[in-house]
Amino acid sequence: METKASHTENPMPQSIEATGVPRNLLEDLALKTLYLHGELRLTELATHMGLSFGIVHDLFESLRKEEFLEVKGMKEGAQRVTTTFRGKTHALELLSLSQYAGPAPVSFTDYVDRVQAQSVRSFEVKPERLRKAFEHLVLSAEILDQLGTAVVSGTSIFLYGPTGTGKTSIAEAVPRIYHDFAWVPYAVEADGQIITVYDPVLHEKVDHSAEKESDGRWVLCLRPRVVAGGELTIEMLDLQLNPITKYYSAPLQMKANNGILIVDDFGRQRVGPQELLNRWIVPLDQRIDYLTLAGGRKLEIPFELFVVFATNLDPGLLADEAFLRRIRNKIKLEIMVPEQFHEVFRRLCTRFKLAYDPLVVNNLIEMLTKELKQPLRPCYPLDIIQQILWSAQYKGKDPRLDQESVARACRNYFLAVGTSSGAQTSNA
């Protein structure tokens, strides 16, 4: 995978001073790591800590002088080192204070500098790239232009409109616009505390040819894509101190830095929308967020991400004018026109190897709008075709897009007329 040079230049520090992290923190980390692994070669310890061999050798010599480490023996021409009895005792004391034993953290200053250097606003968005990112969706030229303008701003966007109009699909497609990469640290040191940032569930690591020469405390990833839905709480937007491991986990917006944060189904979280909105006002306005350590110290964190809010509720009822003004881009998604509805069906028929019949789709449109009193929601073609596929699978027949299968699919999918005007299931 090809990477841009500006994102791959991240040389390995060759001295403890160059890491920007206190020596004693690195010594403690080395001691805990060796205690947990039993014994390691120094090259293995260097790989685990993401540091150069020279730095790890320096740490080893210092810890050996304090009689915390010793040479266990030789294996494959290399020394294997382990903790002494004194070292084990001290390691247990350290683990009672913090169980973090992963790669060495980067300094808070280095983290801030790199996040600002990798700002999502620095990415150049071109119309052809935007069309490519959304080519799997049927969108009007006007909507594409609005999306392009929003992404160029690098700030935020509010997608709103009736249920089933494709807001979630559009939001989830925004990250496809970006085709470059960002360095994400395994952890950050701030005020002597460890904050873990890299999350293998949220961050997608990429192969990097110069990885051995790069600072092993950072991971080269696709620009982050973090999605939060109805489970989002205020607590998830601040530092999370694990009472057992005694180190912090970064909040969602910090993990999304240099990428995209999607707040889906906004207004349906367990916490009131106004409380969530108040939490976002300063970051959206000033590009800075404030996080709180357990002792009360505030950390000023860069807010270098593109935020997408998606809702099928009325934004005017969710937020006041002051907040809506801070969301610079607002796009209302409407119900489809028949031509777009046909295009979605054409694409889905190609995808699922069905014969596309425009007459069948015309009759479906007639049924939806007149008999079932339903608008042409973008979610309906896929939902109806899935019903057809499931029915055919159950009966052991080849699926067909015909009048009978479509009518049966609608009976299974929609509530009876007079019961409700909505479908049994729909996507926002």
User: In the structure, what pLDDT confidence band is assigned to residue 421 with cuts at 50, 70 and 90?
Assistant: very low
Domain count, the chain: 3
Among 332, 351, 379, the domain-final residue is 332
Q: What separation in angstroms does the CA of 314 have from each of 221, 330, 334?
A: 36, 12, 13
Asked if the structure places residue 17 within a domain, the reply is no
Rounded Cα gap, residues 312 and 164, in angstroms: 9
Q: Is residue 171 part of a domain?
A: yes
DSSP string computed for 161-217: -STTSSHHHHHHHGGGG---EEEEESEEEETTEEEE---TTT--B---TTGGGB-TT
Residues 90 and 155 in one domain: no
Average pLDDT over all residues of the chain = 90
Residues 343 and 239 in one domain: no
Q: Does the pLDDT at position 210 exceed 70?
A: no
My answer on whether 242 and 182 are in the same domain is yes
Q: Nearest Cα to 262, choosing from 289, 312, 287, 228?
A: 228
Distance CA 186, CA 50 (A): 9
The answer to whether residue 366 sits within a structural domain is yes
List the domain range (segments joined by +) for residue 135: 113-332
Residue 249 forms part of a structural domain: yes
Question: Checking phi first, is residue 36 left (phi over 0); if not, alpha (psi -120 to 50) or beta?
Answer: alpha
Which pTM value belongs to this model?
0.86
- Express each pLDDT in 228-274 by its tens digit: 988 888 999 999 999 999 999 999 999 999 999 999 988 888 787 77
Helix, strand, coil percent values for the chain (each to nearest 5): 45, 20, 35
Do the Cβ atoms of 120 and 308 come closer than 8 Å?
no
Please give the average per-residue pLDDT across 43-48, as a whole number. Answer: 95
Summarised one tens digit per residue, pLDDT across range 188-197 is: 999 999 999 9
Q: What is the phi/psi pair of residue 125, to 5°?
A: -100, 125
pLDDT in tens, 64-102: 999 999 998 776 667 899 999 999 999 999 999 999 999
Instruction: Indicate if 242 and 143 belong to the same structural domain.
Output: yes
- Return the SS3 of 231: coil
Asked if the structure places residue 4 within a domain, the reply is no
Q: Is 337 helix (H, G, I), strand (E, B) or coil?
A: coil
Q: What is d(CA 225, CA 277) in angstroms, rounded to the nearest whole number?
A: 21
Structure token pair of residue 93: 């004391």
